[in-house]
């Protein structure tokens, strides 16, 4: 009887130890994977991305939570003695490598389909973009001045970038109003730069919107090129002296 109790106590100690180890592996795996994720995809403005591949990445995070909850459920089952100690010990032994393997699988999936993007709508962040987007500066700089004039008013700005090992998607849009003389000068400069660009690449066309605002399609998106070109448009509202620029790209490597 005494030997049986000592054996049960020994089993119980191992079960508790292995359960704690499993939970520790889950926590360490989560912390380490988040660090690796942000090292692989550094973001200036981290934000959850729940579209496209980001949905699958979020499911992986939920799977992590479910795995941690499963360990807690197992401990409750053990405490309530719904399983024999020997069965509980076997299960707890299996959970340790299972947790490690799950961490590796989830990390792999998160790196392929990260649920995080870079996103901001603060005009103070104007044209401060992430590295992969900055590589396309030769394109979008045609319609976005490096800095906005101090006279610019009613500034609206939006930036979002999502990157995986196989894709790069980004949107940059900005609109602002200028004094009449400065507006005319800025319009002339942008039109001169974009006209030269269109002649070089043979892309873009001019169109009129219903409210009379001039819209220039500087370039149409061409993700098939070795170095993809974003879709770029710029609107000029001569009445309001307002400029609205937008660059958009969906790229698959």
What's residue 137's pLDDT?
92
What's residue 171's pLDDT?
96
CB of 43 closer than 8 Å to CB of 115 = no
Domain spans in the chain, listed from the N-terminal domain onward: 2-112, 121-252
List, in order, residues 6 or more apart from 108 with CB less than 8 Å away: none
What's residue 173's pLDDT?
97
Element (H, E) at 205: strand 205-208
* Residue-level length of the chain: 253
Assigned token pair, 195 = 């006209």
CB of 205 closer than 8 Å to CB of 220 = no
Assigned token pair, 212 = 């009379």
110 Cα distance to chain centroid: 11
For the stretch 33-63, pLDDT in tens is 888 888 888 999 999 888 877 777 777 777 7
What's residue 3's pLDDT?
63
Q: Give the mean pLDDT of 98-111.
A: 84
Q: Alpha-carbon distance 89 to 18, whole Å? A: 8
- Rg of the chain over CA atoms, in angstroms? 28
94-98, 119-123, 134-138, 169-173: segment of lowest average pLDDT = 94-98
Q: Give the mean pLDDT of 62-77.
A: 74
The reported pTM is 0.81
CB of 229 closer than 8 Å to CB of 201 = yes
For the stretch 126-180, pLDDT in tens is 999 999 999 999 899 999 999 999 999 999 999 999 998 888 899 999 999 999 9
Q: Alpha-carbon distance 98 to 162, whole Å? A: 31
Q: Alpha-carbon distance 231 to 249, whole Å? A: 6
The DSSP symbol for 246 reads: E
Which of 58-67, 77-86, 172-181 is most confident? 172-181
What's residue 196's pLDDT?
81
Q: What are phi and psi of 148, to 5 degrees?
A: -80, 145
């Amino acid at each position: 009887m005494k030997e049986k109790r000592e054996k049960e106590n020994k089993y119980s100690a191992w079960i508790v130890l292995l359960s704690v180890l499993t939970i520790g592996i889950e926590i360490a795996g989560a912390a380490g994977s988040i660090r690796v994720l942000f090292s692989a995809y550094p973001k200036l403005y981290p934000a959850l991305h729940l579209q496209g591949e980001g949905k699958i990445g979020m499911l992986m995070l939920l799977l992590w939570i479910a795995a941690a909850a499963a360990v807690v459920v197992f401990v409750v089952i053990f405490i309530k003695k719904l399983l024999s100690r020997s069965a509980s010990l076997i299960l707890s032994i299996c959970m340790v490598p299972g947790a490690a393997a799950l961490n590796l699988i989830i990390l792999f999936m998160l790196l392929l389909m990260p649920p995080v993007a870079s996103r901001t709508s603060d005009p103070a962040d104007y044209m401060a973009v992430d590295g992969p987007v900055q590589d396309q500066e030769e394109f979008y700089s045609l319609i976005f001045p490096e800095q906005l004039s101090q006279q610019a008013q009613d500034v609206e700005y939006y930036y979002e970038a999502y990157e995986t090992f196989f894709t790069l998607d980004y949107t940059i849009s900005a609109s602002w109003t200028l004094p009449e003389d400065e507006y005319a000068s800025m319009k002339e400069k942008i039109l001169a730069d974009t006209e030269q660009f269109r002649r070089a690449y043979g892309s873009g066309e001019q169109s009129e919107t219903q409210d009379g605002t001039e819209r220039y399609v500087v370039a149409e998106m061409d993700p098939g090129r070795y170095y993809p070109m974003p879709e770029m448009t710029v609107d000029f509202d001569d009445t309001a002296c307002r400029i609205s620029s937008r660059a958009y790209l969906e790229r698959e490597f």
